[in-house]
Structure 1
Amino acid sequence: MTDERSSAASDEQRSDVHDPAGDATADASAKSDENEAGEAFTIADFHDASQQAGRPVLTAAAVSRALELPHEEASDRLETLAESGSLERLSVSTDPVVWYPSELEDLTDRERVVVFPKRREIIVDRPDQFTRAQLSQFAHLADANGEDGYRYVVRPEDVWSTPHDSFEDLARTMRQALGQRSEPLEEWVESQWDRAHQFRLVTHEEGYTVLEAQTPEIMGNVARQKLDEEHVHAPISETEDWVREGSEAAIKRILYEAGYPVQDHRELASGEELSIDLNVRLRDYQQNWVDRFAEAGEGVFVGPPGSGKTVAAMGAMAHVEGETLVLVPSRDLAQQWADAMVEYTSLEPHQIGQYHGGRKEVRPVTIATYQIAGMDRHRSLFDDREWGLVIFDECQHVPSDVYRRSTHLQSKHRLGLSASPIREDDRQTEIFTLVGPPIGTDWEALFEAGFVAEPELEIRYVPWGDDEQANAYGSADGREKYRIAAKNRGKIDEVRYLLSAHPDAKAIVFVDYLEQGRELSDALEVPFLSGETPHHERRRLLEEFRRDERDLLIISRVGDEGIDLPTADLAIVASGLGGSRRQGTQRAGRTMRPAGGALVYVLATRGTREEDFARKQLQHLGRKGMTIREQTVERDAE
């Protein structure tokens, strides 16, 4: 069991005060007399008190009243029983210590917390939303559906990005979440807290940037060992270095990788003021994201598709009230951002510009593609304007060599958005050094609260459609094996079967290969939307799907991130599991909306490497709280 700070604990405290069982009964008096005569206090005595109180968890005060013992004596006897293993104790932050029988551990449905300080792991059985919210402020949810309960890991970066003003505030949150004080864990967390406050970037009174260290030792032994003339001009003092213009992001990244995140306190220009009001009320967790962003001045909103990251970003815009640059992966997303801003904010269409291959407009709010913003011939247009806020949509792209050039743009505030900030090249830490620390709510909490519907996800292992492909697979090598398995023609029959099993569903079929998409398009007589589809045709097809004028689309990789797909009831992933874990998140996420009842089927050719890809690439979704089933298709191909 863990800290009972919930209303249940408060109710228990009130019932202790007004409990009619506090009036001594004849049986209780007799029991008290026996105890005063020197007879040992046993678990049976505790059960008697528990029966009178009508609950299995008691404070020492409740035992004292029920058995007519002095409070101090009741506490001593409870301690003795605890030492013998018959009772367990729990310190509650808003209540006295409570006691319960040890065997209750195996019977209770209440949450329980176990801390492993050396591994910096926290195992929680049946955590409530309050506990998860507290844990998310200093720990990472590593596994959400294992037999051993929810597994949290406290990593350095979790402590570095905690939204607390002091270590004392952070320690208080930890004790509330854990229901206890773990001194070894707190000592390690405090050491990481100190690391996160050793360096900071500030603006000198003459306008240039200075790197400051807490002590001469930390400056000499860390910063001046890691940085060179590419990053700093010269020392100003024992604890200050003059920073070369444009090297701020590199300094932050280098020191972050050395284990010392830099606090950015530069007085950056906020741009022209721009009044922005929201036309929609933020959900509680979205408001929490915005509040944490407002406190830090930067960050990355991390949440599942459908959790409203775009709307929350507009909440951040309303907070900053400055000219804003939004960077997106494609022109389709640029148009969708523009439409959403008109719908959800007080901005007028003439205040919103788009800058990409199709349009060239720089306005108080400008939406540009990463590629354009990183080109030398266009960058001056963005560099010359003082942005109050730069938003990096799908910011998992930022560490790539092409996209990261856009992070050199200076602004007072930076905000990233990502459903899954995972990179197969393990450069995801760069996302948080180039943009800001992660800010989010664990997926399971959003599933339980009903804000996002948890889709049912099933991996279906499909037999070969014909012997020709099966034989080709057997003689192929390396990547070619995966390609043949992914394009298994037996999947066409399986897609037909799944669509017929859900005749009323709006469905999206994902493919990785153009040839496979065309084959499915011909077989099902439905459009295939790919990178070759003209932009106006894409918009028409997607709008027809949104308006329920069309209930089935086949989509290539262009649907993973480049466009905002409409909500679907059914998603069938016919191929694509050889891609990234992020791709699995995006495709499964196309059904994550509040409506509920969504289904995701992932097809993998039975007995091939595609089976392993399917399990591996979707494993992290299971750790986020999604339930994943597996089914072998026995039906023979016709």
Structure 2
Amino acid sequence: MSRGGQRAGVTDDQDDASLDRFHEAVERAGRPVLTTDEIARRLDQSRDETEPWLADLEREGGVVSRDVSQDPTVWYPAEWTEYADRERFVVFPNRRQIVVDRPAQFTRAQLSQFARLVDTNGDRGYVYEMADSDIWQAPYDDVEGLLGTVRDVLPQRYPDLEEWIAEQWKRAHQFTLRTHEDGYTVLEAATENLMGNVARQKLDDHHLRAPISDTESWVAEEATAEVKRILYEAGYPVQDERDLESGDPLELSLTLDLREYQHDWVQRFMESKSGVLVGPPGSGKTVAAMGILERVGGETLILVPSRELVRQWRDEILAHTTLDESQVGEYHGGKKDVRPVTIATYQTAGMDRHRHLFDSREWGLIVYDEVQHVPSDVYRRSANLQTRHRLGLSASPVREDDLQEEIFTLIGPPIGTDWDSLFDEGFVAEPRVEIRYVPWTDEESRNEYVGSEGHERRQIAASNPAKIDETRRILTRHPEQKALVFVDYLDQGRDLSAALDVPFISGDTPHHERERLFQQFRDGSLRTLVVSRVGDEGIDLPDASLAVVASGLGGSRRQGTQRAGRTMRPAGRALMYVLATQGAREEEFARRQMRYLAGKGVQVQERTVEEPDEDSEDGEDGEDDADDRTDDDSHVD
């Protein structure tokens, strides 16, 4: 039998062998959709040989091609089109990677228990990876429960993968912190060998006061957080089962209803008594934290990075719980009231002259807002405050110094929801993100950039005057949307403020003036603000629907997420434009900032801005006179 125009003199066996070579390229690449160049490279042949061969395979019905942009064309097995509405799994057990096409929401929820979503095309393809820390932090009482979920969700058994999972689970249960009957803290190892060759080799007299037995050591009370961090870095997360104080009881009720996923967050936290809520901005982490406050029912310390956040937390607690003003205190440079619920800045709580006030009180719950700050030296001291319940909150617990694992060590494991499911259900508006590469205004500006270096070079690219025209163009195309324009340099902020005739808010803006402008923005009397880094976190702007990033902090993924988060709210269409100077290293920084969002399911487009055409319109669909780029063409350090 011939298949769709089989060539004369070519047998079915030859066709099958040819298709097998395509599948060989797919297997080598580790993904089912490949460009022509990728296929040629995987099969060690030229593009000139590959193109006609692929065209023959497509005529024969073995593969399908799609033009995903001007270039390149991508190819994938034809049988995929026959199951367009079904889930399909490709599992790479040696790489501990799972690729799922069109996963159901239940499937995504199950996968999130033991794997991390690292990439998605925003439509139907999801890539998950399993790291040792994902298994260490999996929310199960025993390894059989974890393996049961793995077997339920994957299409078949993978013995080698299951063996690795079991090994990691065992590794995560080798050391335990517990409270001795005399009140001091004990580190217990599963074996004498682990205590002697791991714990006592990695830890010194500052950490361990004295041996108790071959498998037990007395831990210095002030060093417990450091003991956990050091052993975690050695590949042995510590189970913390100490009898920590619950704090004096505090009666309160939440006066609003939690969403289903927020109930799940609260339940998962109460089971482990520690953890970091990780969700997109606008998903209600603060509300879930108040739900946890209600369940814990003990006196609570809330640590935040700024005074603005102190006031916001106080307002939220008074608005949505039965607590009154006499029960909620502020502790920072302006006020120092310790109450049953106390909201303090990290810096103040970490100062030696104030710490004794927090150390001496038996807190039932400590909340670390914007927890990505904790590994910084100035904030880490506050993480040593010990309580039975430790809760972190963050939209992006990633750090450019790669210390995010320390967050989970000091506070607790991540607790989160697949961002895509929140987008799908309409709880959070998925932002449409577009990186726009802006040309230099003239050759003189470009030459100034080329002749500079270091910080000066970055600032010249960031402050490219062409960004002012492009910002004005974007704002003109979206006149009904309330917009935030972000900058990292004060001079650029002032220039944009003057050109657009809108206020500029920076760290130099007095607090009363800052709050007045924010209120005008909230009530709609002011529709555009230029904001420096003070707008990256800790400012409540719930209905900003358009963000323009005129300059960013290097390649900071956290900053990119925070700024996108200013548009990620339950209603409305969210838009974000990131401006980068064409031909400058700023291009790489922009891609790096957005890569974290892309991995969370947010669609990120890239365009090169041409000289504006007075007659052209790009509308809200973004189809303007610009050249598409794809992530395949980008290189990120």
Structure 2 length-normalised TM: 0.82
State the shift of 1:196 in Å.
1.1
- Opposite residue 178 of structure 1, the aligned amino acid is L
Q: Match of 1:10? A: none
2:177 matched to 1:201?
yes
1:423-572 pair list within 5 angstroms: 423-572=399-548
Contact 1:455 1:596 in 2 (8 A): no
Kept in 1, the 8 Å contact 2:302–2:344? The answer is yes
| Structure 1 contact 493–637 (Cα < 8 Å) conserved | no
Q: Say if 1:633 and 1:255 are closer, same or farther in 2 by CA, change over 3 A.
A: same
Residues 399-434 of structure 1, C-alpha deviation per residue, up to 9 Å, x if partnerless?
011110111112111000111111111111110111
Deviation at 1:549, TM superposition (A): 1.9
After superposition, where does 1:254-273 map in structure 2 within 5 Å? 254-273=230-249
Amino acid at match of 1:630: E
2:82 matched residue in structure 1? 107
Separation in 2 of the partners of 1:217 and 1:224? Answer: 10
State whether residues 352 and 363 of structure 1, in contact with CA within 8 Å, keep that contact through their aligned partners in structure 2.
yes
Of residues 611, 621, 629 in structure 1, which corresponds to 2:587? 611
Greater displacement, 138-147 / 438-447: 138-147
CA distance in 2: counterparts of 1:275 and 1:632, whole angstroms: 57
Match of 1:140 among 78, 93, 116: 116
Distance in 2 of aligned mates of 1:237 and 1:525: 72
Q: How far apart are 1:467 and its partner, in Å?
A: 4.5
Residues 353, 612 of structure 1: alpha-carbon distance in 2 compared, 3 angstrom cutoff? same
**Percent of aligned pairs sharing the same letter:** 65
User: Structure 2 matches for 1:233-244, cutoff 5 A?
Assistant: 233-244=209-220
State whether residues 431 and 576 of structure 2, in contact with CA within 8 Å, keep that contact through their aligned partners in structure 1.
yes
Determine the C-alpha separation between the residues in 2 that align with 1:309 and 1:547. 24
The one-letter code sitting in structure 1 at the alignment partner of 2:403 is R
Distance 2:608 2:96 in 1: 39
For residues 222 and 573 of structure 2, what CA distance do their matches in structure 1 show? Answer: 49
CA contact (8 A) 1:463 1:636 kept: no
Q: Distance in 2 between matches of 1:450 and 1:250?
A: 41
The one-letter code of the counterpart of 2:190 is Q
Distance in 2 between residues matched to 1:435 and 1:110, nearest whole Å: 39
**Deviation at 1:254?**
0.9
Instruction: Give the Cα–Cα distance (whole angstroms) in 2 for the partners of residues 577 and 607 of structure 1.
Output: 18
Q: Distance in 2 between matches of 1:465 and 1:433?
A: 48
Q: Note if contact 2:99-2:126 (Cα within 8 Å) is conserved in structure 1.
A: yes
Partners of 1:199 and 1:213 within 8 A in 2: yes
Provide the C-alpha distance between the structure 2 equivalents of 1:548 and 1:211, rounded to a whole number of angstroms: 57
C-alpha offsets along residues 500-528 of structure 1, whole Å, 9 cap, x if unaligned?
Answer: 11111111110111111111111111111
Q: Residue 179 of structure 1: CA displacement?
A: 3.2
What is the CA–CA distance in structure 2 between the aligned matches of 1:212 and 1:564, rounded to whole Å? 45
Compute the displacement of 1:562 (Å): 3.5
For residue 214 of structure 2, what is the amino acid of its counterpart? E
Distance apart, 1:450 and its partner CA: 1.3
> Can you list the C-alpha shifts for 1:322-358, whole angstroms capped at 9, x where unaligned?
0000000000000000001111211112111000111
Distance in 1 separating the partners of 2:155 and 2:186: 42
Q: Separation in 1 of the partners of 2:144 and 2:315?
A: 44
**Quick one: distance in 1 between partners of 2:463 and 2:433?**
21
Following superposition, the deviation at residue 276 of structure 1 comes to 2.1
Q: Does 1:596 align with 2:588?
A: no
**TM superposition score normalised by structure 1:** 0.82
CA distance in 1, matches of 2:613, 2:430: 32
Tell me how far apart the structure 1 counterparts of residues 191 and 586 of structure 2 sit (CA, whole Å): 54
Distance 1:558 1:500 in 2: 25
Specify the code of the residue in structure 2 equivalent to 1:586: Q
Aligned partner of 2:99 in structure 1 is: 123
Asked if 1:152 corresponds to 2:143, the answer is no
Deviation at 1:463, TM superposition (A): 2.1
Secondary structure of 1:260's aligned partner: coil
The answer on whether the counterparts of 1:330 and 1:563 sit within 8 Å (CA) in structure 2 is no
Single out whichever of 617-626 and 432-441 deviates more from structure 2.
617-626
1:178 aligns with 2:164: no
* Partners of 1:414 and 1:394 in 2: CA distance: 14
**Which of 340, 351, 376 is the aligned partner of 2:327?**
351
Conservation of the 8 A alpha-carbon contact between 1:490 and 1:637:
no
Equivalent position to 1:247, from 204, 218, 223 = 223
Contact 2:252 2:297 in 1 (8 A): yes
Match of 1:291 among 236, 253, 267: 267
Instruction: Determine the structure 2 residue equivalent to 1:587.
Output: 563
Q: Which residue of 2 aligns with 1:84?
A: none
Aligned residue for 1:13?
none
Contact 1:144 1:444 in 2 (8 A): no
Cα offset, 1:612, TM superposition: 1.8
Match for residue 222 of structure 1? 198
Report the AA paired with residue 627 of structure 1: Q
1:117, 1:185 within 8 Å by CA — same for their partners in 2?
yes
8 Å contact kept, 1:144–1:622: yes
Query: Equivalent residue for 1:321?
Result: 297
Amino acid at match of 1:462: V
Asked which structure has the greater CA Rg, the reply is: 1
Deviations 1:36-72 (A, max 9, x none): xxxxxxxxxxxxxxxxxxxxxxxxxxxxxxxxxxxxx
Q: How many angstroms does 1:465 deviate by?
A: 3.1
In 2, are the aligned partners of 1:577 and 1:614 still within 8 Å (CA)?
Answer: no
3-state SS of paired residue (2:364): strand
For 2:288, the equivalent position in structure 1 comes to 312
In 2, Cα distance between equivalents of 1:579 and 1:459: 13
Maintained 8 Å contact 1:138/1:162:
yes
Distance 2:122 2:94 in 1: 21
Shift of 1:469: 2.5
User: Alpha carbon RMSD of aligned pairs, Å?
Assistant: 1.7
Compute the displacement of 1:579 (Å).
Answer: 4.7
Aligned partner of 1:623 in structure 2 is 599
SS in 1 for 2:149: helix
What residue is the counterpart of 2:368 in the other structure? 392
Corresponding residue for 2:167? 191
Secondary structure at the aligned position of 1:354 is classed as strand
- The C-alpha deviation readout for 1:275-295, integer Å capped at 9, x for no partner, is 121111111111111111100
2:322 and 2:443 mapped to 1: Cα distance? Answer: 61
- Structure 1, 374-383 or 562-571: larger mean CA deviation: 562-571
Cα distance in 2 between the residues matched to 1:146 and 1:438: 23
**C-alpha separation between the residues in 2 aligned to 1:210 and 1:611?**
51
1:179 alignment partner AA: P
* Aligned residue number for residue 54 of structure 1: none
